[in-house]
Amino acid sequence: MMKTPELLKTIIVCVLVTALLIIPAFGDGNITEPSDSGVIDSETSPQQPAGDGDSGVGDDPGTDSQQPEGSGTNEENTPDENTEDEETDNTGDDPGTDSQQPEGSGTNEEDTPDENAGDEDSEGTGEDEGSDGESSEIFETLSPEPPVLMKSMTTSPDTGAPDPLAESGTSDPGAGTGVVTLGTVHITATGTELTPGGGNGYTFTGTYSDGQITITGQGDNAGQYYLREDLHSSANDFAIQIQTSGVTLDGNGFSVIKTGSAGSSGGISLTSEADGTTVKNFDGSNALSDHSGITDFNRGIESYGDNVVITGNKATGNVNAGIYSGGDTVTISDNLVQGTHPNGDGIFVIGSQPNVIGNTVTDNPGASGINTDAISATISGNTLQRNEGGIMSYGEGSTIRDNTISDNIYGGIYLTDSETGVTITGNTVQNNPRGIMFEDQGGSGNGHIYNNYFANTQNVDTSDDPDISAYTWTNPSGPTPGTNIVGGSNIAGNYWSDPTGTGWSDTHARDSRGYTDDPYEIANGVYDNKPLVKTPAPNPNPSPSQNQDTDSATNQNTNNPGSGSSDTPRINVVLTAASVGNPASPGTTTNLILTLENIGTLPLSPSARIILVPVNERAEPIGEQPVEYVDGKFILNYPLLIPTEPGTYTYIFSPVMVTEDPDTGEEVRITVGDKVQFTVVVGEDGTVTVTMG
């Protein structure tokens, strides 16, 4: 008598063969068939001409699918041509099946019920395209009500960043690549698909609906694993745990979601044996995800390994911390951390030499955006908003640079007066009740705090009576040529403003050096000896009658509202802030924000037409850009394409007022300030920073 497993396999093979024989009879029924390349070519999915970046298909209005940043596509809701058919024929592997394929097998080995079982009006046949156990493809054609097609997208195995596809159905997954397809949605990751039931190098208890995964070895693909759908877990200790070194765990744009009480659980847990591990792309960006990221755990990601990389993830609504790291030489970059509650930090690091770079940490009202008790931590290029505090530092030798820290509940940067070797530079700290706060822990601390922009209700809080006498508040090398935080020509002390823009540096006499020798008293007996001030334009504006080119160095004083002495130009539009949206990464498009102000003696009307005209070759592709008058300032928002290769990229524009000659009615262009210049720096590690000058 035939054994049950063999009988099941025989039945499945018969069903597959029968279905394959029947399918050609439905040639007019718009059945989706795999193409020769192994990717769906759907007759119901309109295709764009080659080279067109718009896939021509739309997102389901009932989902919250996210588009790749800077894709520039026009999404339309496109109804499926089969909406009137009462019968739906589905071809493709059922995403609900958890069976694994043995090497070289073309049939499903386990008796797994199909999602469509019980649906009398649907027929399904499945065939696994994988041939070597390293690749897995799932082809689906679903008909929601109303059925729509979704946008094509792919994520790079190297960067994890979503990229638009020029054409639908053109990617070849290749060996070792898993492709998930829903209509025309393609999400690509490399390695071994984590499948219920487990496999070589990992165990998977339960299902994606309620499961727990433990990775204990390198497996079949050099330690590379990925999710195929959102993982829900009710486990009280962890949803995914990595217990070995050298693993790359790719979320593939999916989420990990805690069900039930958070307890002491970790969403993704790395033990102390997980050295050299990378955790990436758990950001909910996959069109098939619920988009929540890693959510509702005690800690979203907790890591105790050394040399770990945690990048491109989204952690929301966790309790103790969004991301926690206790290892050495860890890199935490380009993550979004939000809503840690009620008293948890966004990112918490201890250990030695951690790098916390380019993260966006917002809306953690009970604690700090970033909290470090590490030795020699680097906190760089992060955006911290609406947390209880921006950055809290207790460790020795911390470097806090080039961060944007604003609108936090209690303050911007928190230090103790016992920390040594601290460097704080290049930060924009504004619209907080306190800029920097010092806690009294007995003194003996020291460090350098310079070239920062402070515009807070109280810029330095010493109410705890700390000893900050050993901290220097200007460049330790003395004023040094270079573009400072407000665009001046020397890097010296700090710029002392306030939320109204009428602080000490705002109202002090301008100086062509960008700083003054007049000391600014920070606390009793503590001074910034070279504080930054505004820089006057070297020349007044040209006369309209000259109708000069925007790059002209010659200026006249004839009938020009912008004319005046060289020290007091009547109209002088200058760049006061430059930033890009986060996360920003090489090769992607992100939002560039430039803030300009008229610091001249003659006010500009809100209706004045001000444009930025490109001056150098790097700026030419951007072209002329109008700026918008907002609350007394001129703002430019522009979708800037970040260069792909590491390097320093300088963009130079000229601020120009466009008006009309009252006699002839012809357009007249008047240069109304010195060059507007900003620099984008793409680091070797993929970090992106923007500075003025």
Whole-number pLDDT of residue 212: 96
Distance CA 99, CA 378 (A): 45
Given a cut of 80, whether residue 210 has pLDDT beyond it is yes
Whole-number pLDDT of residue 238: 95
pLDDT band at 16 (very low <50, low <70, confident <90, very high): low
CB 39 within 8 A of CB 138: no
CATH top-level class of 556-692: mainly beta
* Residue 545 dihedral angles phi and psi, to the nearest 5°: -65, -20
Average pLDDT over all residues of the chain: 75
**pLDDT (tens digit per residue) in 263-275:** 788 999 999 999 9
Residue 351 or residue 19, greater confidence:
351
- The H or E element spanning position 5 is helix 4-22
Whole-number pLDDT of residue 20: 57
Whole-number pLDDT of residue 71: 39
Distance CA 152, CA 664 (A): 53
* Residue 360 dihedral angles phi and psi, to the nearest 5°: -115, 120
Whole-number pLDDT of residue 14: 60
Residue 318 or residue 166, greater confidence:
318
CB 176 within 8 A of CB 216: no
The DSSP symbol for 606 reads T
Q: In the predicted model, what is the mean pLDDT of residues 76-85?
A: 40
Whole-number pLDDT of residue 642: 87
Q: For a pLDDT cut of 90, what percent of the chain falls above it?
A: 42
Q: Is 6 helix (H, G, I), strand (E, B) or coil?
A: helix
Sign of CA dihedral 489, 504, 520, 518: positive
CB 443 within 8 A of CB 467: yes
List the structure tokens of 601. Answer: 């003696």
Distance CA 91, CA 35 (A): 13
Lowest mean pLDDT among 14-23, 555-564, 628-637: 555-564
Whole-number pLDDT of residue 404: 96
**pLDDT (tens digit per residue) in 399-447:** 999 999 999 999 999 998 888 999 999 999 999 999 999 988 887 889 9
**pLDDT (tens digit per residue) in 607-619:** 888 999 998 888 8
Whole-number pLDDT of residue 8: 58
Distance CA 638, CA 395 (A): 38
pLDDT band at 132 (very low <50, low <70, confident <90, very high): very low
Judge if pTM exceeds 0.75.
no
CA end-to-end span of the chain: 83
Distance CA 449, CA 424 (A): 5
List the structure tokens of 557. Answer: 């004083």
DSSP sequence for 167-223: STT-----TTEEEEEETTEEEEEESEE--TT-BTTEEEEEETTEEEEEE-S-TTTTT
Domain ranges of the chain: 34-81+89-94+121-152, 339-525, 556-692
* Residue 124 dihedral angles phi and psi, to the nearest 5°: -135, 140
CB 614 within 8 A of CB 636: no
Q: In the predicted model, what is the mean pLDDT of residues 173-194?
A: 54
Q: For a pLDDT cut of 70, what percent of the chain falls above it?
A: 68
Q: In the predicted model, what is the mean pLDDT of residues 621-628?
A: 88
**pLDDT (tens digit per residue) in 339-391:** 988 889 999 999 999 999 999 999 999 899 999 999 999 999 999 999 999 99
Nearest to 134, CA basis, from 171, 96, 174 = 174
**pLDDT (tens digit per residue) in 491-549:** 999 999 999 999 999 999 999 899 999 999 998 889 999 999 998 754 434 333 333 33
* Residue 492 dihedral angles phi and psi, to the nearest 5°: -135, -110
How many Cβ atoms sit within 10 Å of the Cβ of residue 684? Answer: 7
pLDDT band at 670 (very low <50, low <70, confident <90, very high): confident
- To the nearest 10°, report the CA torsion of 320, 323, 324, 328: -170
The DSSP symbol for 99 reads P
CB 347 within 8 A of CB 331: no
**pLDDT (tens digit per residue) in 149-165:** 333 333 333 434 444 33
CB 125 within 8 A of CB 89: no
Query: What is the length of the chain?
Result: 693
Distance CA 228, CA 210 (A): 14
CB 426 within 8 A of CB 400: no
**pLDDT (tens digit per residue) in 21-57:** 554 444 444 433 333 433 333 333 333 433 343 433 3
Place of tokens 């039931």: 197
List the structure tokens of 20. Answer: 């394959």
Whole-number pLDDT of residue 188: 62
Nearest to 149, CA basis, from 168, 163, 165 = 168
Lowest mean pLDDT among 224-228, 243-247, 319-323, 576-580: 576-580
Distance CA 644, CA 648 (A): 11
Whole-number pLDDT of residue 119: 41
CB 468 within 8 A of CB 426: no
CB 402 within 8 A of CB 691: yes
Whole-number pLDDT of residue 6: 59
